[in-house]
Structure 1
Amino acid sequence: MTFPADLADAARAAARVTASVTPGRLAGPTPCAGFDTRTLVNHLVAYTGIGMELRARREPHPEGLATRDFTAEPDWQAAYAAQLERSVAAWSEPAAWEGEVNGMPAEAVAGMLLLELCLHGWDLARATGQEFQVADGTAERVLAGVRENAQLYRDFKGFGEPAEVPAGAGPLTAAVALSGRDPYWAG
């Protein structure tokens, strides 16, 4: 798969998971230290929904994006799915991959967004009793991104110390473990 196709695959998976999040689950725990489910959803929507499109277009984030409670809005799941489609479309444009985004190569930023979609998508799926599934090629790209950037993410407190990778683990499970998440987390 191409990188834009991997982003589209991950976006579809994130939309599937968020579509099944019920209000009763929003106060529950997640694999992300310090994030309840509502906080995780809001982070995911802000950065992989709206933020992903804005980065492709080289536009600034609006004030208050990081603190907005998307879950308080009616039909937030449908709005997020529609926003993901716009974000994927923006990254499908060849110009999105040229030059830099906020001083970083565009491909590196897209890689960070893919990790956000898949790792936080996995977190949300686990927190709400679901599975997060992407194509093998997408999972391989995520694993490569985790391996390449793990120490940087740890330095900025985005990843914990790596967990043991289960024997026979697929690439997504390996990425989850190497990013410091417990691949067996069940709430």
Structure 2
Amino acid sequence: MALSDRPAERHRQVAGLFTDRVRGTRSWDAPAPVADWTARDVVRHLTEWCPGFLASGAGITLPQGPSVAEDPVAAWQVHCDGVQAVLDDPETAHRDFTNPHIGSLPLAAAIDRFYTTDVFMHTWDLSTATGQDDRLDPDFCAQLLGGMEQMEEVIRSSGQFGSRVEVPDGADAQTKLLGFIGRDPFWSQR
């Protein structure tokens, strides 16, 4: 299924796949392919950074569910539904997001560019940690990789991504994207 280029619909698709992986997780303590993270930490990361991002950049307060430590499935669902409600709100089309590092841009575009893409990439982390289907949309992988490669220096200096992991010549777009963001595409629980 190709991902939509409309922020609200793309979030619905990407977050829907992540939700499936959250619901399919049997061991929240399973190691994840991010150093020192478990499956629970993947969910914690997404549910904890986005509320501050939206509050500081757009004055939006997302609903709070239980903590990820208490109930990762419910914590994710409340968070995911809150972000979707923001994207589905007709007033969002008239709102801007402002951040000292990126300037101002439409709120839906900011959520799409920074948050939805993060959910997309962390879907692989959770899927891999928990032994679920880890395939991502290949066209979106190629699109993200193309955009990120153009700003590699900025990305690397942000500290948000690990060192590039070399991948075989002729690797598919997902493998290349994972290597670019510092993941070992061939990681497995050891």
TM-score computed with the length of structure 2 as normaliser: 0.73
Give the deviation of 1:18 after TM superposition.
1.2
Which protein has greater RCO, CA pairs closer than 8 Å, 6+ apart?
Answer: 1
Structure 1 equivalent of residue 17 of structure 2: 13
What is residue 40 of structure 2 aligned with on the other side? 38
Find the counterpart in structure 1 of residue 179 from structure 2.
177
C-alpha distance in 2 between matches for 1:150 and 1:55: 27
Structure with greater Cα Rg: 2
Give per-residue Cα distances to partners, 1:15-71, cap 9 Å, x unaligned. 12112122xx222211111222222211122345x567x369812668xx8xx8324
Residue identity matched to 1:72: E
Instruction: Name the one with the larger helix percent.
Output: 1
- Residue 85 of structure 2 is matched in structure 1 by 86
**Contact 2:138-2:173 at 8 Å conserved across structures:** yes
Structure 2: any 5+ residue segments left out of the alignment?
none
Supply the RMSD in Å over aligned alpha carbons.
Answer: 3.3
Pick one of 65, 70, 77 that aligns with 1:72: 70
- 1:101 is the counterpart of 2:88: no
**Percent same amino acid at aligned positions?**
21
Instruction: Kindly indicate whether the alpha-carbon contact (under 8 Å) linking 1:21 and 1:128 is maintained by their aligned counterparts in 2.
Output: yes
- The count of corresponding residues between Structure 1 and Structure 2 is 177
8 Å CA contact 2:33, 2:125 repeated in 1: yes
CA distance in 2, matches of 1:93, 1:120: 25
Residues 37 and 87 of structure 1: is their aligned pair in 2 closer, same or farther, counting only changes over 3 Å?
farther
Q: Show structure 1 runs of 5+ residues with no match.
A: none
In structure 2, the residue corresponding to 1:130 is in which secondary structure?
coil
